[in-house]
Chains A and B, each alone.
Chain A
Amino acid sequence: AQTVTQSQPEMSVQEAETVTLSCTYDTSESDYYLFWYKQPPSRQMILVIRQEAYKQQNATENRFSVNFQKAAKSFSLKISDSQLGDAAMYFCAYSTGDSNYQLIWGAGTKLIIKP
């Protein structure tokens, strides 16, 4: 069974600094997708970034980038120039690429931004 592990329950960073959130996963599949979602206090889950396993290039979305290490089954999220609006719960998630579509989630990391 696939699993997703986030080992950092909480992280804090000074505004404008860079922070990295960790995520590891376990799967025997070759075709899969990895995601980082953000859940602010409004509770609405928002997609931050997505990575297809077959792509070697790390995904980037503005200040957000990932370090995808396929062999190590690691998928960390780097947030550059942290802003107060980045404060939220961040969830790492996995899904296979086949018809068995479901998101498998990590436990989440609470990100605190210090002004």
Chain B
Amino acid sequence: KAGVTQTPRYLIKTRGQQVTLSCSPISGHRSVSWYQQTPGQGLQFLFEYFSETQRNKGNFPGRFSGRQFSNSRSEMNVSTLELGDSALYLCASSLISGAQTEAFFGQGTRLTVV
């Protein structure tokens, strides 16, 4: 069974640009969550999608957005990039929404903003 796939693995962008990250969940999983990991702030929840609907959103500015497609694949977009957006972005998928099911993580996308 294929795991959670995040693409690309590494990305370098310039301040002011926008970026789109992709997450393909495990087959059959309908919930996808996104997290930002930085040395300073640690791991922070961005948002969760379930059946193409955003169910929950963390405390991030509107520059951070996402969506989920009918095949459960999810994309995360960051517009007007800032240096502080440099981070490891982790995606997790689970069968359904909720802590009662295990979340499986991808290897992340390392975004560097210069």
Could you list which residues of chain A lie within 8 angstroms of chain B, going by C-beta atoms? Answer: 32-33, 42-47, 50, 52, 91, 93, 95-97, 99-108
B interface, CB within 8 angstroms of A: 31, 33, 35, 42-45, 48, 55-56, 58, 88, 90, 92, 97-100, 102-108, 110
Task: Tell me whether A47 and B102 are in contact in the complex, defined as CB-CB below 8 angstroms, given that A42-B107, A103-B33, A104-B45 are known contacts.
Answer: yes
A101-B56, A102-B58 known; A95 vs B42 contact (CB < 8 Å)? no
How many Å lie between the Cα of A95 and that of B1 in the bound state?
Answer: 27
* Chain A residues within an 8 Å CB radius of B105: 44-46
Number of A-B contacts (CB under 8 A): 62
Is B107 within 8 A of A99, CB to CB? no
Out of A99, A100, A103, A106, name the residue touching B103 (CB < 8 Å). Answer: A103
Query: Which of A96, A97, A105 is B43 in contact with, Cβ under 8 Å?
Result: A105
28 A-B pairs within 8 Å (CB atoms) are namely: A32-B99, A42-B107, A43-B107, A43-B108, A44-B105, A44-B107, A44-B108, A45-B90, A52-B100, A93-B43, A97-B100, A99-B55, A99-B98, A100-B56, A101-B33, A101-B97, A101-B99, A102-B33, A102-B48, A102-B58, A103-B33, A103-B92, A103-B99, A105-B42, A105-B43, A105-B44, A107-B42, A108-B42
Do A101 and B98 form a contact, CB below 8 Å, given A47-B103, A91-B43?
yes
With CB as the reference atom, state the residue of chain B lying closest to A6. B42
| A47 contact set on B, CB distance < 8 A | 102-104
C-alpha gap A108/B35 in the complex (Å): 15
